[in-house]
Amino acid sequence: MNLDAAVAAAAAIAGVCTGVIAMAAFRWSERDQARPTRSSLHTDAVLPPGVDTVLSVLRSSAVVLDEADAVVKASSAAYALGLVRGGKLAVEPMLQMARDTRRDGEIRQVELDLPRRGTGRGEALAVSARVAPLGSRLVLLLVEDLTEARRIEAVRRDFVANVSHELKTPVGALSLLSEAVMDASDDPEAVTRFAGRMQVEATRLTSLVQEIIDLSRVQNDDPLEDAEPVRVDELVAEAVDRCRHQASTKQITMAAGGTADLHVWGNRGQLAAALGNLVENAVNYSPVRTRVGIAARRVAAPGGDLIELAVTDQGIGISEKDRERVFERFYRVDPARSRATGGTGLGLSIVKHVAASHGGEVTVWSAEGQGSTFTLRLPEAGAVRERGRGRGPAYFAGESVEDPFADDQLPAPGVRP
């Protein structure tokens, strides 16, 4: 009996020990699971309350680093800029700033030029980085992309420099000519000659100032506020009339075709200025006794039919390298010829802005020694098109375009050889 009691007591003690050990193991497992792991340090749970929400609405690229320089939180913009790779901050200067801020708690800011990823281009990405402590353990990095702002500032700076240079030339010429007139006061023939030159420079200055005003207006104004259906034949007639004197002086024949029953939607003044600039350029850059043609037609497009206005000349043509830049402000293919004809280098830039603001585009085809074709494509006036229902299929299919150069065997406007 005593033996049985001893065995039972031993079994009871062993059971109690097993239970205690099992309970201890269970408690240890719970504590181990509750303990923060290395991976859990990189979750949103370590961020102070509300910080995640604030970072999600910031326009800047945001990165939060812990005491081990691991990324705790990063916005999608930070990944897009290539700031974060493999859970680490990939930009060494920013990483060093974060370490310094973690050490002394001071806010730091710096502007950097970073290489673009995957573009194959040499241009840099301009950014402004600001680092600040976030609590006692974390560091917040905010990065602003300044690339577009710098580009706009460079364009504005170049524009001011070009305007200053262009204005200085006629103003300086007027100053010198006025001195020459004063010195030649006793020579009527010289006074007449100098006065004629002053008129030329004054006209050039007036044209330059007016085109600067026009360019500023088309950039800042919304053309669709005063939009209306505009007859294409009226725009063409106005452009031809604007250049009639210049064309007759050079014995240039101007021909128009295919403009009947076509309408575009937009600001009449801006559209007339754009087409007038194209025709004026064609006349200025054409040799004597040649022809300038203006042709219009309706072309089908996925977003709705477009009206295509093509201005073709038999001029000197444009080289391939110049073709990419002819729509830049103040760019001249032939500076000497432009100055002789009073060109400012702003006409095609105005055309480009007018086309873009009206939802269209302007393109150029050219071959040196053969001439050029500038094509302005604009949305057709939808309201006028609806009123044209019932006039027959030809109205909607588009009329054939008369080729002003058919007898000269030149490429029709809009057609490439």
Q: Model pTM?
A: 0.53
Give the model's pLDDT for residue 241.
93
Give the model's pLDDT for residue 366.
92
Residues 341-359 pLDDT 10s: 555 677 888 899 899 889 8
Q: Which tokens belong to 376?
A: 């302005």
Give the model's pLDDT for residue 333.
65
Quote the CA–CA distance of 234 and 326 in Å, as a whole number.
27
Q: Nearest-5° angle of CA 46, CA 52, CA 57?
A: 165
Low-confidence stretches of the chain (pLDDT beneath 70): 1-46, 117-123, 219-224, 332-344, 382-417
Give the model's pLDDT for residue 207.
76
Give the model's pLDDT for residue 123.
67
Tell me the residue ranges of DSSP E strands in 205-333. Answer: 228-231, 253-257, 263-266, 291-299, 306-312
Residues 126-157 pLDDT 10s: 889 999 998 778 899 999 888 888 887 877 77
Give the model's pLDDT for residue 389.
45
404 contact partners, CB below 8 Å, separation of at least 6: 255, 256, 257, 291, 293, 294, 295, 312, 413
Instruction: Please check whether residue 63 is in contact with residue 141, taking contact to mean a CB–CB distance below 8 angstroms.
Output: yes
Burial of 136 (0-12, 13-18, 19+ CB in 10 A): exposed
Give the model's pLDDT for residue 234.
93
